[in-house]
């Protein structure tokens, strides 16, 4: 969830199978994909990852705090996202609005985002702005609490509430996500509430609650920093030691590991909304990110809706013209995963008509598996998107941080690519049978007063 606007990241060139700091030509299909890096850990627990790319005089600083909405507690939700906003409100040596003002004067930009598992912040710009970027990040990591007061918390609390009004409460179909996750997970599960939190919890958050959250999670031993671009690893390490070395380590964090959730049967709900077209949501429990079936489920989503000739898209949008859009995705997160199919009806069409086609195509994929052509197209599309995301230094920086948090190894690029390349037609058929044929959450969002357009319960033998 983006908390601020703008922030395109700059940079060029994927480094492949080259020594640190060197450049090479694009890989052959058999060449290993490597993004060289140096990793260090400061005495206070802060992890530093440096990737040298001298193809353009730019740099990105990418900071991950290993905390998201999944680390919150029932009754105190929305803190991770609230902090994403508070982190731009000034610190002891860079009072508001110095953070943005100084970066803009240096020709740099910045942004942040929050999801269930992490909060990230990043700056990108000319390489000579690196000391400024690191100094600003260090100041808000180590010297933000002295400037935090009720006025700042109240101001950003109101900003987040307004963001919720615009993006959830007053947005067409805006209540879908929080309705689905409340049906998909038990009330105490960390994924059962939305990243943005609830109005009640945001109102209840006290200044001391907010400070406690910062002390616990915004500590160097719960963060990792990637610096990527036209830099020297030794120079970066010296700067990070200079600016971050005095920040004290925070408390050790013991994260909850909830048991895997399974639905015992289909669960359905109908929401009336100020919309013109009914929309259908199917959601199933699946697997965490990086578990063995994660890649096969992602390719199954592409085969169903990822292209104009994908099974559901071709049949529903183009052939029968009963849907204006349909898309599917696998979302493997740190604690759990889910798979969704979302379809919006055309004018004059009802959700049972969409159900009939979706159910039939999923059953056919489970019975027959994908064709060789479908699987090849899905893999080629994934690989193309994967490599395109690494053309800019900012994309590589964020991926290095993601791999470090997810699998403990920053250079997971080849391993990530290989798990998709290794998927077989039988794998896709198996995961569709195993996960998409079982119990599901079914949500219908219909125009006000038109419950007759809602999805129907599944008829089982």
Please give the positions annotated as active site.
84
> Which DSSP helix (H) or strand (E) runs through 323?
strand 323-332
Do the Cβ atoms of 94 and 212 come closer than 8 Å? no
Residue 125 CA, distance from chain mean position: 23
Torsion, CA 126, CA 94, CA 213, CA 288, rounded to 10: -10
Do the Cβ atoms of 185 and 191 come closer than 8 Å? yes
Torsion, CA 181, CA 186, CA 191, CA 195, rounded to 10: 60
Using DSSP's 3-state secondary structure scheme, residue 134 falls into: helix
Cα–Cα distance measured from residue 175 to residue 446, given in angstroms and rounded to the nearest whole number: 12
E strand residue ranges, 80-163: 109-114, 119-126
For residue 123, give both structure tokens: 């700056």
Cα–Cα distance measured from residue 296 to residue 410, given in angstroms and rounded to the nearest whole number: 23
Nearest residue to 353 via CA among 331, 326, 327:
326
Q: Are strands 223-229 and 38-41 parallel, antiparallel or unpaired?
A: unpaired
The Cα-based distances of 118 to 46, 115, 316, 400 in angstroms read: 16, 6, 36, 14
Is residue 97 reached through a cis peptide bond, with omega within 30 degrees of 0 on the bond before it?
yes
Do the Cβ atoms of 309 and 208 come closer than 8 Å? no
348 burial (CB, 10 Å; 0-12 / 13-18 / 19+) is exposed
Nearest residue to 115 via CA among 343, 351, 401, 334:
334
The Cα-based distances of 443 to 407, 448, 450 in angstroms read: 34, 15, 14
């Amino acid at each position: 969830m983006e908390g601020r606007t703008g922030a395109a990241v700059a940079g060029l060139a994927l480094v492949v199978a080259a020594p640190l700091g060197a450049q090479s030509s694009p890989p052959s299909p058999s060449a290993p994909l490597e993004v060289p890096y140096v990793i260090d850990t400061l005495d206070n627990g802060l992890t530093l990852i440096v990737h040298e790319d001298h193809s353009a005089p730019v740099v990105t600083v990418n900071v991950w705090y290993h905390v998201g909405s999944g680390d919150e507690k029932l009754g105190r939700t929305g803190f991770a996202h609230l902090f994403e906003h508070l982190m731009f409100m000034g610190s002891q040596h860079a009072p508001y609005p110095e953070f943005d003002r100084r970066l803009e004067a240096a020709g740099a930009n910045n942004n942040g985002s929050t999801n269930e598992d992490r909060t990230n912040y990043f700056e990108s710009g000319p390489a000579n702005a690196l000391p400024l970027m690191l100094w600003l990040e260090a100041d808000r990591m180590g010297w933000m609490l002295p400037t935090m007061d009720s006025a700042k918390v109240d101001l950003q609390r109101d900003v987040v509430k307004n963001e919720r009004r615009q993006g959830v409460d007053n947005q067409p179909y805006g209540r879908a996500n929080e309705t689905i996750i409340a049906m998909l997970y038990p009330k105490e599960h960390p994924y059962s509430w939305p990243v943005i939190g609830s109005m009640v919890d945001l109102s209840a958050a006290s200044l001391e609650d907010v400070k406690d959250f910062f002390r616990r999670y915004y500590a160097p031993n719960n963060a990792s920093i990637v610096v990527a671009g036209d830099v020297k690893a030794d120079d970066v390490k010296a700067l990070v030691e200079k600016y971050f070395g005095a920040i004290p380590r925070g408390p050790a964090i013991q994260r909850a590991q909830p048991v895997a959730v399974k639905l015992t049967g289909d669960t359905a709900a109908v929401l009336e909304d100020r919309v013109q077209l009914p929309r259908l949501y199917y959601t199933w429990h699946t697997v965490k990110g990086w578990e063995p079936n994660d890649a096969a489920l992602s390719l199954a989503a592409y085969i169903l809706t990822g292209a104009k000739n994908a099974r559901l898209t071709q049949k529903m949008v183009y052939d029968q013209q009963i849907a204006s859009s349909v898309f599917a995705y696998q979302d493997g997160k740190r604690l759990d995963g889910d798979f969704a199919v979302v379809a919006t009806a055309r004018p004059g069409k009802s959700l049972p008509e969409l159900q009939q086609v979706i159910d039939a195509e999923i059953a056919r994929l489970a019975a027959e598996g994908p064709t060789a052509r479908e699987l090849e197209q899905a893999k080629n599309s994934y690989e193309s998107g994967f490599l395109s995301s690494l053309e800019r230094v900012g994309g590589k920086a964020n991926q290095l941080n993601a791999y470090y948090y997810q699998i403990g190894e920053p250079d997971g690029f080849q391993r990530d690519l290989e798990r998709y390349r290794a998927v077989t037609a039988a794998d896709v058929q198996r995961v569709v049978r195993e996960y998409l044929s079982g119990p599901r959450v079914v949500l219908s969002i219909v125009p006000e007063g038109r419950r007759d357009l809602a999805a129907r319960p599944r008829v089982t033998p």
